[in-house]
Amino acid sequence: MSTNKTYTVPTYAAFGWLTFSTFLAVFGPLLPVESFRTIHGDFLDAKPFTAGHWFGVDSNGYDIFSGIINGARLSLFVAFITVGIGGFIGSLLGITAAYYRGRYDSIVNTAFNVVLAVPNLVLALALVAVLATNVDINEAVPTWRRLATLMISLTVVIIPILGRIARASALTWSGREFVVAARSMGMRDRHIIWRHIVPNVLPVLIAVGFLAVGVVIIAEASLSLLGVGIPDGASWGGMIARGRNDLEYNPHALYFPIIALALTVISTNHLGDVLRGRLDRREARL
Amino acid sequence: MRATYFLQRLSQLLIVIFCVTFGCSLLLQLIPVSPAEILLPVGSPEERALLTKEIGLDRGPIGYYVKWLSEFVRGDFGDIYYSGGREAVSSRLVVAFPRSLWLMLYTQIVALAAAIALGVWSAYRVGRRADKVISNVLFVFSSIPGFAIALVLVLIIGVRLQWLPTLDYQPYSAGVWEHFKHMIMPVLSLSVGLIASYTRLLRADMIATLREDYITMAASKGLSDRRILWRHAFRPSSVTLFTSAALNMGGLIGGAIVIETIFATYGVGFEVFAAISGRQYIALQSLVGLISIFYVVFNVIVDFAVGFVDPRTRDRRVNK
């Protein structure tokens, strides 16, 4: 195996796809594309490559191309924000636990194990169910609150996954000579963690963070399929859920969001792998 | 040393189970409305008060938990309430549990069989074209979520070709082929992702094992490649694989929610979903408790089984 070739064609492709979809996510509303909520009554069930509707139209009259662009915004937004916040809280807990050890460590570790003992989706579903309960149970929950509950639930799912990685990695580093040396020189704990441990743990966390983005995108889509995600088909998962009702006569309404979602997850997983591989090689040289 | 380790693991297990179930019962206290109001939307205040008392919600968080726990260990998992009646969760589980169990079992068998074949083959041909093709194809498939594979299968095999039924579950007593016909697509969609991750684990361990001296020794004795691969290299390389397979059991029993919903298999995962969407919080608490118990118990069994199969790991664990 070639060891010096770090970036291959798939890596560029993955990076390119992620950049492209992030671009769509950020600048989507500015592009000259009609809103994903516009109903094209004359084009119901239009096949792909119809003029004006590249990806076709679904049986409700929604243009799939606009849906994909808008879905990029919500799917990626939810994924990056939850992994960001979850990763921050998780690594804060994990790194401090590994550094201070003792009872604090065992409490944090048990808490991680408790959350990990419940399957991802069950946990997210239960949290969504409880957090989205209105005082008046007959009143519909507003969209922003559904989005917020969804993100909080997914964050809770991410915290122990990344926290555990951070803890394991910080454990190996906090025993190294330079940390002991820093401690014996009287450096403050806060500074040791910030200067010596965080920079070493961070690359691993970023690599695993990419994998976590994939996990969140899939979890969000699964929740949409179960009918508790973001409503109105606004995310890729929501489009899949809507396309599922009509898969016999209008399969492209299902194919396009699945392809977009799969490409994104393949890209994040691949980049996570490449980063991890580079770290392992760096470790091996030390 | 072994006894203390055993006790330590056992206490960890009990703590985790306690925290999960207690956390669930706290969730019940967190919802802003009285659960009785949700369970009996059309009941009179007296009926609701009676129900609150019966569930034990008038005893405060701890009193409620104690009552729930004492019924849970006796096999009473609470009731599911719907308009005009109620049904015991345990009577629904009697139906749902075997379905999930079969689904989990077939998925594991398919995934392990495929992963062992592919993993051993790609480790044997490491760096060659076969290895690269297997790794890349599996990588792509591992990134495609199970529900996407399920929907595409439904579309092509179920709707277009009409080879297999797309919905429902048939018990074994309805005929062997009937039973398997309804299982093929759910099992396939669940196992594709697992095949990829299992193959990866086995391949990595297998490559490391094949570099060991005793393998060179076996080869120099003139043993055939096949014998070396299966007799000498496979067993010591399979520990991580079987550990990870066993750890997936709990998740597969309760976590296959989406697949069970798509194919209307209605196993434990679907019961969880039904409990959540029907706001049956007491049923939810019991189900989540059961699933986490499964997860933790498998975890510990694996720990000991691995120590049994591979004594090297036993020492490592004790020293940690």
What pLDDT score was predicted for residue B91? 85
What pLDDT score was predicted for residue A83? 94
Task: List the single residue in B142, B257, B296 with the smallest CB-CB distance to A226.
Answer: B257
Chain B residue with minimum CA distance to A240: B148
- Nearest-angstrom CA–CA distance, A105 and A142: 39
CATH (domain of B260): 1.10.3720.10
- Nearest-angstrom CA–CA distance, A96 and A192: 11
Closest CA to A233 of A79, A77, A68, A121: A68
| B contacts of A134 (beta carbons < 8 Å) | 32-33
What lies within 8 Å, CB to CB, of B67 at 6+ separation is B55, B56, B59
What pLDDT score was predicted for residue B316? 47
Residue A26, CA distances (Å) to A22, A70, A143, B155 in order: 6, 10, 20, 33
Q: Quick check: is B317 in a domain?
A: no
User: Do B151 and B37 sit in the same domain of this protein?
Assistant: no
User: Do B212 and B113 sit in the same domain of this protein?
Assistant: yes
pLDDT digit string (tens) for A96-125?
998 888 899 989 988 998 888 888 888 888
**C-alpha A230: how far from chain center:** 15
- Nearest-angstrom CA–CA distance, B76 and B89: 8
The CB density around residue B297, as the number of other CB atoms within 10 Å, is 14
Q: Which residue carries 């434990």 as its tokens?
A: B268
User: Do B48 and B99 sit in the same domain of this protein?
Assistant: no
What b/e readout covers B145-180, taking b as 16+ CB neighbours within 10 angstroms?
bbbbbbbbbbbebbeeeeebbbeebbeeeeeeebee
Closest CA to B120 of B134, B104, B106: B134
Task: List the single residue in B30, B257, B258 with the smallest CB-CB distance to A130.
Answer: B30
Q: Which residues pair with B85 in a beta bridge?
A: B82
What b/e readout covers A125-155, taking b as 16+ CB neighbours within 10 angstroms?
bbbbbbbbbeeeeeeeeeeeebbebbbbbbb
Task: List the single residue in A122, A126, A247 with the smallest CB-CB distance to B151.
Answer: A247
Question: Which residue segments constitute the domains of chain A, with CATH numbers given?
Answer: 57-285 (1.10.3720.10)
Domain boundary among the residues B43, B63, B91 is at: B91
Domain boundary among the residues B91, B118, B151 is at: B91
**Does B162 contact chain A (CB < 8 Å)?**
no
| B contacts of A120 (beta carbons < 8 Å) | 251, 255
CB B209 within 8 A of CB B126: no
User: Do B163 and B234 sit in the same domain of this protein?
Assistant: yes
Number of structural domains in chain B: 2
DSSP reduced 3-state for A249? coil
Task: List the single residue in A110, A228, A262 with the smallest CB-CB distance to B148.
Answer: A262
Q: Structure tokens of A123?
A: 């946990």
CA distance B176 to chain A (A): 29
Q: Quick check: is B314 in a domain?
A: no
Q: Quick check: is B252 in a domain?
A: yes
- Predicted structure pTM score: 0.85
CB B294 within 8 A of CB B80: no
Closest CA to B191 of B114, B268, B139: B114
What pLDDT score was predicted for residue B319? 39
**Does A174 contact chain B (CB < 8 Å)?**
no
- Nearest-angstrom CA–CA distance, B13 and B219: 44
Q: Structure tokens of B266?
A: 């209605």
What pLDDT score was predicted for residue A284? 66
User: Do B163 and B302 sit in the same domain of this protein?
Assistant: yes
Q: Quick check: is B316 in a domain?
A: no
**C-beta atoms of B154 and A247 within 8 A:** yes
User: Do B23 and B73 sit in the same domain of this protein?
Assistant: yes
- Nearest-angstrom CA–CA distance, B90 and A269: 40
- Nearest-angstrom CA–CA distance, B12 and B7: 9
User: Do B25 and B50 sit in the same domain of this protein?
Assistant: yes
CA distance A86 to chain B (A): 20
DSSP reduced 3-state for A234? coil
DSSP reduced 3-state for B3? helix
Residues A239, A243, A249: CA angle, nearest 5 degrees: 155
What pLDDT score was predicted for residue A2? 43
Q: Quick check: is B227 in a domain?
A: yes
One-letter identity of residue B281: Y
What lies within 8 Å, CB to CB, of B143 at 6+ separation is A214, A262, A265, A266, A269, A270
What pLDDT score was predicted for residue B115? 93
Q: Which residues pair with B87 in a beta bridge?
A: B80
Residues 236-255 of chain B with CB under 8 A from chain A are: 250-251, 254-255
**C-beta atoms of A119 and B255 within 8 A:** yes
Q: Quick check: is B319 in a domain?
A: no
Domain boundary among the residues B67, B91, B115 is at: B91
User: Do B80 and B104 sit in the same domain of this protein?
Assistant: no
User: Do B44 and B105 sit in the same domain of this protein?
Assistant: no
pLDDT, mean of each 10-residue run, chain B (320 residues): 74 85 80 72 76 77 85 82 77 86 91 93 88 89 87 85 80 81 89 90 89 88 87 84 82 81 86 82 84 81 74 50
Q: Which residue carries 């991802």 as its tokens?
A: A120
B79-82/B85-88 β-pairing: antiparallel
Q: Quick check: is B239 in a domain?
A: yes
- Nearest-angstrom CA–CA distance, B284 and B274: 9
Closest CA to B258 of A215, A231, A219: A219
**C-beta atoms of A222 and B145 within 8 A:** yes
- Nearest-angstrom CA–CA distance, A7 and A13: 10
**C-beta atoms of B151 and A244 within 8 A:** yes
E runs forming strands in chain B: 79-82, 85-88
User: Do B75 and B125 sit in the same domain of this protein?
Assistant: no
**Does B140 contact chain A (CB < 8 Å)?**
yes
DSSP string across B97-147: HHHHHHHHHHHHHHHHHHHHHHHHHHHHTTTSHHHHHHHHHHHHHHHS-HH
Closest CA to A218 of B175, B27, B106, B259: B259
- Nearest-angstrom CA–CA distance, B123 and B206: 6
Q: What share of chain B is helix, strand, coil (3-state, %, to 5)?
A: 80, 0, 15
Chain A residue with minimum CA distance to B31: A130
Chain A residue with minimum CA distance to B153: A247
User: Do B55 and B83 sit in the same domain of this protein?
Assistant: yes
One-letter identity of residue A274: V
pLDDT digit string (tens) for A153-197?
899 999 999 999 999 889 888 888 888 888 888 888 888 888 888
CA dihedral B29, B35, B37, B39 (to 10 degrees): 170
Per-residue pLDDT of chain A (286 residues; tens, 9 = 90+): 444 556 788 888 888 888 888 888 888 777 767 777 777 766 676 677 766 667 777 777 777 788 888 888 888 888 999 999 999 999 999 999 988 888 999 899 889 988 888 888 888 888 887 777 666 656 667 778 888 888 998 999 999 999 999 998 898 888 888 888 888 888 888 888 888 888 888 888 988 899 899 889 988 888 888 888 776 667 888 888 888 877 777 788 888 888 889 999 999 988 888 888 887 777 666 5
**Does B143 contact chain A (CB < 8 Å)?**
yes
Residues A80, A82, A85: CA angle, nearest 5 degrees: 105
Look up the domain containing B245 and give its range.
94-309
Task: List the single residue in A118, A225, A248 with the smallest CB-CB distance to B147.
Answer: A225
Task: List the single residue in B261, B281, B296 with the smallest CB-CB distance to A117.
Answer: B296
Closest CA to B31 of A152, A132, A144: A132
**Does B257 contact chain A (CB < 8 Å)?**
yes
| A contacts of B208 (beta carbons < 8 Å) | none
User: Do B216 and B172 sit in the same domain of this protein?
Assistant: yes
Q: Quick check: is B264 in a domain?
A: yes
